[in-house]
Amino acid sequence: MAIQDCGVEGGPPIISLKGLRHSFDNGNSFALKNVDLAIEPGAFVALVGGSGSGKTTLLKCINRLIDPLMGSVEIEGQSARDLPGRELRRKIGYAFQGVGLFPHMTVAENIGITPSLLGWSRPEIASRVEELLTLVELPPDYAGRSPDQLSGGQRQRVGVARALAARPHIMLMDEPFGALDPVTRDTLGVAYRQLHDQIGLTTVMVTHDILEAVLLADRIIVVHRGEVIADGAPNALLTTPQRNDVQALMDMPRRQAERVHDLLHGEPAGQG
Amino acid sequence: MDTPLAGAFAVLPSYLGHHILLSAAALALGTALSLPLALAASHSARLRWPVLTFVSLIQTVPSLALMALFYPVLLAISAASRSLTGHSFSALGFLPSLIALTLYSMLPIIRNTVTAIVNLDSDMIEAARGVGMGPTQRLLRVELPLAAPVIMAGVRTAAVWTIGTATLSTPVGQTSLGNYIFAGLQTENWVWVLFGCITAAALALLVDQLLGLIEIGTARRSLWRVAAGMGILALGVAAAGAVIFNPAQKPAYVVGAKDFTEQYLLAGVIRQRLEAGGHATSLRGGLGSAVVFRALAQGDIDVYVDYSGTIWTNVMGRRDRLPREAMLREISDWLARERGVRMVGALGFENVYALAMKRERAQTLGVTSISDLAKQAAHLRIGGDYEFFARPEWASLRQEYGLQFQEQREFQSTFMYRAVANGDVDVISAFSSDGRIKGEDLLLLSDPKGAIPPYDAIVMVSAKRKTDKALLAALKPLIGAIPVTLMQKANYLVERPDAPMSVDVAAQWLDKQLPAPK
């Protein structure tokens, strides 16, 4: 199926994946089958799909947490293999569902970890930590706290701050708000979308929640059995899906939206 | 101040000091070796199995045997080093104990470290990689800090094991709190046995608590706890070092003794004579019979008393029989020629392996000689000390008399005499000079076929002391001066069950019965 590139006119892509294949069992089965993707600077992309669809594998190929068996990954016009994986990862923000705050470090030490790996000076790191706490809307005195003194939402905010610490241009997020309650989840999602626009980030977010993808992203890529089966703006996928399974996937948010719309306009129940 | 307890306290600084230094060195070395090995094993599944299996396997070797095994190995290395570089080292005491204890300490440290790192939360590893850490940064900044409390718990277990097992280093010639236990067991000084157990347990408990403080400190990131625990431990080791390495107390003469009363008494007399002449001495007691001669030949000890038959059969490997005097001359020549060791002379009594029975039991059965015994042996039980049944004398007795017993049991020598007294066994391998022969009213069976060679007590000095005037002057008056009745009496003073005398007091008594030094 044809790949729809949304940002062709916006100049060269910031992330470019070509002919990506990956297998976890020496080629008996493929988690990724020949994926091509170009992501333009400033995009907010949601990778959606069921569990085992390959969306997380695809995400991890971008910062070389996984090295794909075949194909090329280019970041800002440079092959990802030109840099050692750890140096590449210091330039790309990464946040995931488990957050993975280091329990033996304070909030400030957690946030400052990538800058310290990059050799920033102590005052530089301290002022950056302060800046980031403000950015993710945490009080400055949280710097000295230990991660186990924080709520789930606060931990996730620290996780985002840590990912942003070294001023990356690209953020990779793997179900970042998946473990939170719906209210916190929505608050954080909206807050992160604002951050994304404010800083001018390029974000690739994995989610299995199609509604979250519709509400946050500019572009939705549907992955199924290691292949991209749909790629387009939320509006296009909602209104003119090209495949039955994609239409079925998009039905859920549309039904919910119509039902909420009806309720808001005083229509009786039972029509949705 | 002659009570056993006062005696125990008098030697406590030395025993405890040696025990602390040995345990601390073994634990430090064990930790230093275990950590890199454990880290390698936790990151390589291929390495994990062999490493864990190896350290578990070491644990299955009895600790005493492990220490004993390193002695001949070190001896060979020392000899090779002497021929290659001209330098040799002592293969006795500290080194074999250190190596064995180090190996012992490794299992809990390695197992805990591997478990802690392999089971680290996978989110931690993902986060560490995600923020851009390389393998070394991940290890130092995430894996080790998170695993530290579990690793410390392993070090703690290792420390308790090491301190407990270090008591078993006495038989390979390392002074430790085990000296109380081994000497006490031999001389039926139960106060000493208990004292040794209690001090070793108390030391283990104290160290365990201090390491526990460090463990909690690492878990809670509490610097004062870690510092306090480490500080007190370091102070303890420093104090032990100050006691042991105090040059003023450096012993000039090292006197060896095997693990039975007579040996402790004779070593005591030799030390008293040397000390009366203003010389410092130290005792290496409780040495195994196979270890002690090598220790003398090696120069680890300066002087000890052995028995002609033991040297003849075990050391020289001879099976033929010579008259007493000729045999002594031949031994003396051989020792000087082959090992550079000087035989100063025979003390005047024999301590021969002899089969002994309760007098009334022997009379009931009509037994006075080993020939009589052989006819009834099939329904009698024999008890021996740990080495008797492995010795050539026993082979020779069986060959000459066709001895075949109903049952054969091994005892620590104190319990062997108890066993024959209680009727648990009918015959035992006694020593002719043993005080308990008189005490328990035992009958020594005659050896009409001469299956057992003579066992004259002989004094030998090491190669480096063979012309030492002070030592020879102290030993010369003892030559030919101790008849078997005197030795039996002295042994009995210590071994009589009703009112045992301490070894030191009995040695002083024996010393007074002997000709004064010139």
pLDDT tens-digit map of A91-134: 999 998 888 899 999 999 999 999 999 999 999 999 999 999 99
Neighbours of B248 (CB within 10 A): 5
The dihedral formed by the CA atoms of B56, B57, B58 and B60, expressed in degrees to the nearest 10: 100
Average pLDDT over residues B86-106: 84
Residue of A nearest to B220 (CA): A104
Residue B367 lies in a domain: yes
Distance in Å, alpha carbon of B142 to nearest chain A alpha carbon: 7
Dihedrals phi, psi of B254, to nearest 5 degrees: -105, 115
Chain A partners of B126 at a C-beta cutoff of 8 Å? Answer: 65, 96, 98, 100
Residue ending a domain, among B247, B280, B302, is B247
CB-CB neighbors (< 8 A) of A83 in chain B: none
Residues B469, B415: one domain?
no
Q: Is the pLDDT at B174 greater than 90, yes or no?
A: no
- Give the count of beta carbons closer than 10 Å to the beta carbon of residue B107: 22
- From the list B123, B129, B132, which residue is nearest A87 (CB)? B132
Q: Angle at CA B191, nearest 5°, toward B185 and B494? A: 60
Candidate from B5-9, B281-285, B335-339, B428-432 with smallest mean pLDDT:
B5-9
Domain count, chain B: 3
Same domain for B409 and B381 = yes
pLDDT digits (tens, 9 = 90+) for A8-27: 455 789 999 999 999 988 87
Contact A130, A140 (CB under 8 A): yes
Q: Say yes or no: B72 and B93 in one domain.
A: yes
Task: Give the mean pLDDT of chain A.
Answer: 89
Domain boundary (B388, B422, B444) is at: B444
Taking contacts as CB-CB distances below 8 angstroms, the residues of chain A near B132 are: 86-90, 114, 117-118
Indicate if the pLDDT at residue A42 is higher than 90: yes
Q: Which residues of A touch B128 (CB under 8 A)?
A: 100, 102
DSSP state of B102: H
Cβ-count burial B268-291 (b if 16+ within 10 Å, e if not): bbbbbbbeeeebebbbbbbbbbeb
For the domain that residue B172 is a member of, what is the CATH number? 1.10.3720.10
The confidence score (pLDDT) of residue B218 equals 83
The separation between CA B152 and the C-alpha centre of its own chain, rounded to angstroms, equals 31
Same domain, B161 and B12: yes
Q: What pTM value is reported for the model?
A: 0.71
Residue B224 burial by CB count (10 A; 0-12/13-18/19+): exposed, middle or buried?
Answer: exposed
Choose from A56, A102, A175 for mutation: most chain B CBs within 10 A: A102
User: What's the confidence (pLDDT) of residue B515?
Assistant: 86
Give the domain CATH number at B394. 3.40.190.120
The answer to whether the Cα torsion of B427, B433, B436, B437 is positive or negative is: positive
Residues of chain B with Cβ-Cβ distance to A102 below 8 Å are 124, 127-128, 141-142, 146
Flag whether B83 is in a domain: yes
pLDDT at position A271 over 60 = no
In a shared domain, residues B37 and B168: yes
Q: Which two tokens stand for residue A86?
A: 């750890």
For residues B190 and B279, membership in a common domain is answered with no
Of the residues B121, B126, B131, the best mutation for testing chain A's interface (the one with the most A CB atoms within 10 Å of its CB) is B131
In sequence order, the 6+-apart residues with CB closer than 8 A to the CB of B415 are none
Q: Do A65 and B126 touch (CB under 8 A)?
A: yes
In this structure, are B313 and B190 located in the same domain? no
Residues of B in contact with A163 (CB under 8 A): 130
CB of B221 within 8 Å of any CB in chain A?
yes
Is residue B479 within 8 Å of B344, Cβ to Cβ?
yes
Q: Is residue B227 part of a domain?
A: yes
Domain that holds residue B282: 251-350+456-513
B123 touches chain A (CB under 8 A): yes
Residue A153, token pair as written in the block: 């939402």
CA distances B508 to B252, B304, B503, Å, are: 21, 18, 9
Q: What is the pLDDT of residue A201?
A: 94
In this structure, the answer to whether residues B173 and B233 fall within a common structural domain is yes
Q: Are A256 and A30 in contact (CB under 8 A)?
A: no
Contacts of A100 in chain B (CB under 8 A): 121, 123-124, 126-128, 130
pLDDT level of residue A2 (50, 70, 90 thresholds): very low
B105 and B124 fall within a common domain: yes
**Which phi and psi (to 5°) does residue A54 adopt?**
105, 5
* B360 lies in some domain: yes
pLDDT tens string B264-280: 999 999 999 988 888 88
Contacts of A6-9 with CB under 8 Å at 24 or more apart are A6/A40, A6/A43, A6/A218, A6/A219, A6/A232, A6/A233, A7/A38, A7/A39, A7/A40, A7/A41, A7/A43, A8/A38, A8/A40
DSSP string of B51-64?
A: HHHHHHHHHHS-HH
Interface check for B220 against chain A (CB to CB < 8 A): the answer is no
* A136-142: Cβ within 8 A, 24+ apart: A136/A160, A136/A161, A136/A191, A136/A195, A137/A191, A138/A107, A142/A107
Residue B471, domain CATH: 3.40.190.10
- Test B146 with A104 for CB contact under 8 angstroms: yes
Asked if B142 and B149 count as a contact pair (C-beta separation under 8 A), the reply is no
Is B107 found in the same domain as B19?
Answer: yes
Write the ipTM. Answer: 0.86
Contact B300, B90 (CB under 8 A): yes
Predicted pLDDT of residue A4:
45
Contact B130 A99 (CB under 8 A): no
Q: Among B417, B444, B471, where does a domain finish? A: B444
Q: Residue B390 pLDDT > 70, yes or no? A: yes
Write down the pLDDT at residue A269.
Answer: 56
B277 in the same domain as B338: yes
Q: Which residues of B370-380 are buried (b: 16+ CB within 10 A; e: fewer)?
A: bbbbbeebeeb
User: Is domain A8-264 given the CATH code 3.40.50.300 in the classification?
Assistant: yes
Q: Distance between CA atoms of B286 and B255, rounded to whole angstroms?
A: 11
Look at residue B196 and tell me if it is in a domain: yes
**What pLDDT, on the 0 to 100 scale, is given for residue B329?**
94
Please report where in the chains the tokens 């002022």 appear, as a residue: A127
Residue B84 within a domain: yes
Chain B residue closest to A89 (CA)?
B132
In chain A, the residue whose alpha carbon lies closest to the alpha carbon of B126 is: A100
B236 and B270 share a domain?
Answer: no
Q: Which of B123, B132, B221 sits opposite A86 (nearest CB)?
A: B132
pLDDT at A7 over 60: no
- Interchain CB distance below 8 Å, B134 and A84: yes
